[in-house]
Amino acid sequence: MTIDTNSLSPVESLLAPVRHSTHPYLTWYSKSGERVELSGRVFDNWVAKSANLLHEEFDLAPGSVVATDMPGHWKSVALALACWHLGAEVRCVAPGTDPGDVDVFITADTQTLTVNGSVEVIAVPLPALAMAFDGPLPVGATDYASEVRSYADSFNHSPIDTAATALHSAAATLDYSQLFAAAASPESAGTALLSTAWPLERILPELVSLWSAGNAVVLVEDGTEISKALLEGERVVTRLDGQS
């Protein structure tokens, strides 16, 4: 176990420098035409509220495992960072796949849900302004949109075991030190565009790397036209379009 009680947790180290920033930190474009701009302050608030929800309602703590079949989206990113605030493992699974023995399952599509009855379920509506999940919920499931706003917008972090698993998928497993160690080249810092043509388990390490290097990020849903006007309007200097 590798815990440095004198240092900030990885997520705290990432977000503390932008906690009071009003500059764009994560901007979301959906193929339906939705644009959501989150400043450092606003994104940090979403992560903190989500972490407080996960901790207070689901007792998430170091060693907990959270599975998700969510696509690349600003909400799935905020929830992943919330899990890492708590020292939990994020396990990315394909829709309709039974995640196995996990503590919480987070999904945007309850129609594809495959979990046993002991797993807590959080349903996340993807539209930015949604105040509640649109559609039937499994018995006992928590509606993320209707619950998260009531939680505190600051989080009292604690040191975590940086040798513990942070991100697991069929493709790879990363511990906290691996996930938060690799930063993008500082000389390219500016605004980077990242496409959700990549799966969530690949998007998350890229985002951590870009943010660690001081980049703002424009996250574009796969299928959205990446026009010259978009690139110029967002002042994009680096493009990661999800091509292998």
Q: Note the pLDDT tens digit of each residue in 20-69.
A: 999 999 999 999 999 999 999 999 999 999 999 999 999 999 999 999 99
Structure tokens at 37: 């701009």
Nearest to 58 by CA among 79, 35, 29: 79
> Mind listing the pLDDT tens digit for each residue in 104-158?
999 999 888 877 777 899 999 999 889 999 988 888 899 999 999 999 999 998 8
pLDDT score, position 234? 97
pLDDT given for residue 136 in this prediction: 85
Per-residue model confidence (pLDDT) at position 244? 39
Concatenate the DSSP letters of all residues of 43-92 into one string.
HHHHHHHHHHHHHHHH---TT-EEEE-PPS-HHHHHHHHHHHHTTPEEEE
**Structure confidence at residue 92 as a pLDDT band (50, 70, 90):** very high
Instruction: Give pTM, 2 decimals.
Output: 0.94
Q: What is the pLDDT of residues 220-237, one digit of tens each?
A: 999 999 999 999 999 999
- For residue 42, which phi and psi values (nearest 5 degrees)? -70, -45
Distance CA(33)–CA(36), nearest Å, equals 10
Torsion sign, CA atoms 60, 41, 124, 89 = negative
Q: How far apart are CA 178 and CA 33, in angstroms?
A: 35
- Percent composition of the chain: helix, strand, coil (DSSP 3-state, to 5): 30, 20, 50
SS3 at position 99: coil
**Mean of pLDDT over the chain:** 91
Read off the pLDDT of each residue in 171-193 and give the average, rounded to a whole number.
82
Find out whether 76 and 109 touch, Cβ atoms under 8 Å: no
What kind and span of H or E run contains 13? helix 10-15
Hey, how many other C-beta atoms are within 10 angstroms of the C-beta on 19? 14
More confident residue, 115 or 159: 159
Q: Report d(CA 155, CA 42) in Å as an integer.
A: 13
Question: For residues 76 and 68, is the Cβ–Cβ distance under 8 A?
Answer: yes
* Of 101, 108, 102, 136, residue with least CA distance to 122: 108
pLDDT at 185: 55
Mean pLDDT of 207-219: 95
What is the rounded distance in angstroms from the CA atom of residue 8 to the CA atom of residue 151? 22
Inter-CA distances, 159 with 2, 12, 180, 199, Å:
10, 10, 14, 29
pLDDT value, residue 96: 87
Torsion angle, alpha carbons of 127, 131, 133, 135, to 10: -100
